Chains A and B, each alone.
Chain A
Amino acid sequence: MITVRRDKAAQKNHVHSERDDRLRSTLTSGPGLMWMLCFLFIPLLAVVAISFMTRGEYGEIGLPLTLDNYRRLLGFGILGFDPLYPAILIRSLALGLATASICMVAALPLCFFIGRLPLGWRTAGLILIVIPFWTNLLIRTYAWQILLSPGGWICRLAEIFGWISPGTGLYPGVFAILVGMVCDFLPFMVLPLYASVEKIDWCLAEAAVDLGANGSQVFRHAILPQILPGLGAGCILVFLPATGQFVIPDLLGGAKTTMLGNLIQQQFGAGRDWPFGAAISFVALLLVMAGLWFRGAKQAGGEGGLL
């Protein structure tokens, strides 16, 4: 009998604690959920809704519902096919891709270098990587303008080596844009990559050497699989904002090239075409989601399929 009673008491306790748990989880996750609902989900819904509406004569948003905004983005405007918008989209993606690739190539040796430093120096190295963040992006970008403009010492050096013809500068141009982009985004690649470089099990590299792997084979088979998660995270952290970046291309590219970022900004600002701006935003968001989903699916596909 005693056991039965004790069981009932335990059950009661159990029910009680379950209710407690639910209350606690509601209380703790509630504010976060509300925040997400108010500041992410509802605005996003608004963006999607607006993207299907029509721009009025004075820039007001109104009916009827239409797919014209998306059609325009694909290049089918009122004057027939015009590749302007698809070109902007591709140019932005290319810039993001190029930035991510260069950051990756630059961050790999850097992370291994920092990882091999004595313990105290490693923190110092990481701080040095992050320090430029303390300076405003605009100021850093203007600094590059000065450094890369004709007559600057970098340009003179480039002239001596015969990389550019005398009198021309490295700014404005694609080179300047890439320099600015890489400098801005490198920490986003370095930090996650360093986190996985630090955790590398070097014993696996020794095992690979012992089994007859040469330098590049050791990297490919024993090191790369270990840092792939960090590399993937870094690429996403760089590629996504780099695709939407427009300040740096504007300032260092000579304001001649339109990027996805300034295209959207124009629609919501001077252009006063919110529905079109919303459509561009939504398409960009879909592209990003597709990219993330692809990565997730690839990771879920098994450890063996990482490469």
Chain B
Amino acid sequence: MDLASWAIEAEGLERRYGTVEALRQVSFSIRKGEFFSLLGPSGCGKTTLLRLIAGLDLPDAGRLRIDGKDAGGIPAHKRPVNTVFQSYALFPHLNIRQNIAFGLKMKGVPSAETRSRVDRIMEVVAIEDLGDRYPAQISGGQKQRVALARAIVNEPQVLLLDEPLGALDLKLRRQLQDELQGLQRRLGITFIHVTHDQEEALVMSDRIAVMNAGRIEQLDTGRQLYDQPRTRFVAQFLGTCNLISGRVQGIGNGVATVGTELGALTFIHLHNSKTLSIGGTVHLALRPEKLHISREKPSGCGNVFSGVIQQVIYGGASTQYQLDVGAIRLHATLMNNGAAHQFLHEGDRAYCILAEESLVLLEDE
């Protein structure tokens, strides 16, 4: 990809607050027009990273390019970047119209043009009739729209969203997720969206960077992150996951065998993933919905173990099972589509199948 198609390029960004390392060697690139999410638990450095891009904070080390230009020397108020703040940060002494027009006023855009641009953007986010009100007089969802309008009216190269939906109730959140995504597609602006809600990130983003303790653990599409997590942290942060550890016993042609507490497990091992050595410790991940359970012992496949059902949680569309195989507890999620497993109860004996193509080898040591 040529240089002009990157909206943001970060190289080795570092930021320390006293003894706390908020960001450690963070490097990534974001394409123009991409909906990019920074996902992680609170305190993982995602908001710090957003502030570095906005210019509200400066890195201790590393380089940052916005639209191909080195951002190091560009002060915050001159960056082609606008932010939707978590607290909205609307100016309480200005009405909604004046709030939205603020950025244009600072840039000295003529008042006639300002008026028409503000009108247009208020129509886009559906707040046409709030113009004369003050921020204290509107609801949380409306404030969110105003904050969004105030940022995008400036037509930034990159829009930064700091947990913009965090303060809203679930229903409104879902609705605004849809709207935000639609808006991004329509405007073609690069969105960088900070969230700790994994589902929100999966639903909305083109690509997601999962962050932990100041580092990017994995940067991929949502599907890749979910299906091929590289680390234990990613596997457990996105959805739930069965983690099984063991020692390598044999490496064959595209397949490896691991001795675990369950017994010997085989899994598909391709040469482009982590190199294995006999006797080395490995960790495998398996999504609950990829673990099969049946009452009868299946024939003709490997990785079959016998266990006892400990807990059955009926969840409407699906049922969650907890199954003890020896000392190991496995989680399985099965769709309630009329299959035989629906007759399993707590205390029943059952067989579980850990399909070798579903086992994911993690990079953790």
Residue ranges of A at the interface with B (Cβ–Cβ < 8 Å) = 201, 203-204, 206-214, 217, 221-222, 225, 303-304, 306
Contacts and interface: CB of A to CB of B under 8 A. Distances in A.
B91 A222 contact: yes
B95 interface: yes
A222 B105 CA distance: 14
Contact of B95 (A211, A213, A214, A304): A304
A195 to B, nearest CB: 18
Contacts of B98: 304
Contact of A221 (B81, B83, B102): B102
Nearest to A218: B77
B93 A210 contact: no
A206 B85 contact: yes
Contacts of B89: 201, 203-204, 206-207
19 contacts: A203-B89, A207-B90, A210-B77, A210-B81, A210-B83, A210-B151, A211-B102, A211-B106, A212-B77, A212-B103, A212-B106, A212-B107, A213-B102, A303-B93, A304-B93, A304-B95, A304-B98, A304-B134, A306-B93
Contacts of A208: 91, 102, 106
B82 interface: yes
B221 interface: no
Interface in B86-110: 87, 89-95, 98, 102-103, 106-107
B275 to A, nearest CB: 46
Given A211-B106, A213-B77, A217-B106, A206 B91 contact: no
Given A212-B103, A217-B106, A303-B134, A207 B77 contact: no
Nearest to A225: B93
B76 interface: yes
Contacts of A201: 89
A200 to B, nearest CB: 12
Given A206-B83, A207-B91, A306-B93, 19 more contacts: A206-B85, A206-B89, A207-B83, A207-B89, A207-B90, A208-B91, A209-B55, A209-B76, A210-B56, A210-B82, A211-B106, A211-B150, A212-B106, A212-B107, A213-B102, A225-B91, A225-B92, A303-B92, A304-B93
Contact of B82 (A204, A211, A222, A306): A211
A276 B82 CA distance: 65
Contact of A211 (B87, B92, B103, B134): B103
A207 B94 contact: no
**Most B CB within 10 A of own CB, among A206, A207, A213:** A207
A210 B91 contact: no
Contacts of A211: 77, 82, 102-103, 106, 150-151, 154
A221 B90 CA distance: 12
Interface string B273-314: 000000000000000000000000000000000000000000
A214 B77 CA distance: 6
B118 to A, nearest CB: 13
B54 interface: yes
A301 to B, nearest CB: 12
B91 A212 contact: no
Contacts of B150: 211
B89 to A, nearest CB: 4
B130 to A, nearest CB: 15
A225 B91 CA distance: 9
Q: Which 7 A-B pairs have the closest CB atoms?
A: A211-B103, A207-B89, A212-B106, A225-B93, A203-B89, A210-B83, A209-B76
A39 to B, nearest CB: 40
A204 B95 contact: no
Contacts of A209: 55-56, 76-77
Contacts of A222: 91
Contacts of B83: 206-207, 210
A304 B99 CA distance: 12
A209 B74 CA distance: 12
B345 interface: no
B69 interface: no
**Most A CB within 10 A of own CB, among B78, B87, B89, B102:** B89
A185 to B, nearest CB: 28
**Most B CB within 10 A of own CB, among A207, A211, A212:** A211
A203 B94 contact: no
Interface string B101-137: 0110011000000000000000000000000001000
Nearest to B150: A211
Interface in B56-82: 56, 76-78, 81-82
Contacts of B154: 211-212
A112 B134 CA distance: 28
A204 B83 CA distance: 12
